[in-house]
Amino acid sequence: MAKTALVTGITGQDGSYIAELLLREGYRVVGMTRRTSTEVHERIEHIVGDVEIISGDLLDQSSITSIVNDVRPDEIYNLAAQSFVPASWSQPVLTGEFTALGVTRVLEAIRHVEPAIRFYQASSSEMFGKVQEVPQRETTPFYPRSPYGVAKVYGHWITVNYRESYGIFACSGISFNHESERRGKEFVTRKISDGVARIKLGLAQELRLGNLDAQRDWGYAGDYVRAMWLMLQQERPDDYVIATGRTHSVRDFVRTAFEVAGLGSYEKYVAVDPRFVRPAEVDMLVGDAGKARAVLGWEPEVTFEQLVAMMVTADLDRLAAHRRT
């Protein structure tokens, strides 16, 4: 019998990729979306006929419990969150409600409805924050640097706690930054690929950014959702770091993106704008995914250079097509 998966955050970047993967694996896929006055589901437009969409909100326990009760999933991928770090300083309480307590609400629904449901929690390398060890692995102590990071630490530990308290098959994937052409335009990689494409096509003259020296371990979202799925197919639940093991600065990303577009040196186009500098920064992240490689057999396939090229090319194609219409 086909397995059923419930995906919270199916309209997000990762939600769209995991939904595609699960459909390929023959699952019945149910996506939870929150009610809005307009229905913008652009990332899942191409598969909307193949998935079931059901209305619920991470803020609302009763909606989550009834969804779990009605859908009876074998697996839940909890990808929904307030995921933009700067917004967590302007909306710290809401971030805690979505990104921290939202996890407990889903786990409570599992506990009450069907404790055999397997659960994936989208934890984050932001939990390492001011890093206590290089590279970061599953045992590295957390030192979050934003309300978002703090909320994710809560989400991680409540996942571990429900596994240890109630025997729930709950896994926490500590993912480092992963990107794609479906990344939101507020995140730095997509802001750069979109900005570079606009400059190339004469639609913009400059690109305003914050800290160019921050370093991230950037991978491709399509690779990372494969790790999420693999975690729930194991005999035992556990926590895994998902990372490429290579780090690059924002400046490296900018330089590569301008090169891909054939614009030469970035320096005459890029301005540093204090509005995009954070009150507390995570200076450097680089993960050790040795455990995921050994246990899950997981390896990232897309390199940093391929990722930048993929994103810039996609934005160039999209904007050029838009200009023609």
Residues tagged active-site:
124, 126, 148
188, 225, 241, 316: which one binds ligand G4F (CB under 6 A):
188
- Distant-in-sequence, close-in-space partners of 178: CB < 8 Å, separation ≥ 6: 14, 218, 219, 220, 221, 223, 224, 242
59, 201, 212, 263: which one binds ligand NAP (CB under 6 A):
59
Tell me which residues in 108-167 interact with ligand NAP (CB under 6 A). 122, 124
19, 67, 80, 188: which one binds ligand NAP (CB under 6 A):
80
Give whichever of 66 and 211 is closer to ligand G4F, judged by the CB atom.
211
Give whichever of 31 and 155 is closer to ligand G4F, judged by the CB atom.
155
Considering the complex, what minimum distance in angstroms separates the CB of residue 83 from ligand G4F?
A: 4
DSSP string, 263-320: ---STTTEEE-GGGS-SS---B--B--HHIIIII-----S-HHHHHHHHHHHHHHHHH
Are 168 and 130 a contacting pair, CB within 8 Å? no
Asked if 145 interacts with ligand G4F (CB under 6 A), we say no
Considering the complex, what minimum distance in angstroms separates the CB of residue 21 from ligand G4F?
A: 19
For 230-255, b/e burial (b = at least 16 CB within 10 A) is: bbbeeeebbbbbbbbbebbbbbbbbb
11, 95, 140, 193: which one binds ligand NAP (CB under 6 A):
11
Asked if 126 interacts with ligand G4F (CB under 6 A), we say yes
218: left (phi over 0), alpha (psi -120 to 50) or beta: beta
Closest CA to 214 of 88, 123, 125, 311: 125
Tell me which residues in 32-91 interact with ligand G4F (CB under 6 A). 83, 85
Considering the complex, what minimum distance in angstroms separates the CB of residue 144 from ligand NAP?
A: 13
Are 136 and 125 a contacting pair, CB within 8 Å? yes
Cα 314–Cα 225–Cα 40 angle in degrees, nearest 5: 55
Instruction: Report how far residue 170's alpha carbon sits from residue 34's, in angstroms, rounded to the nearest whole number.
Output: 24
Instruction: Report how far residue 163's alpha carbon sits from residue 169's, in angstroms, rounded to the nearest whole number.
Output: 6
**Applying CB under 6 A, which part among 12-20, 204-212, 298-306, 311-319 lies near ligand NAP?**
12-20
14, 74, 181, 288: which one binds ligand NAP (CB under 6 A):
14
Query: Which residues are near ligand G4F by CB under 6 A?
Result: 83, 85, 124-126, 176-177, 186-189, 191, 209-211, 214, 216, 250, 276, 278, 281-282, 285
Query: Which residues are near ligand NAP by CB under 6 A?
Result: 8-9, 11-15, 34, 57-59, 79-83, 98, 122, 124, 175, 177-178, 184
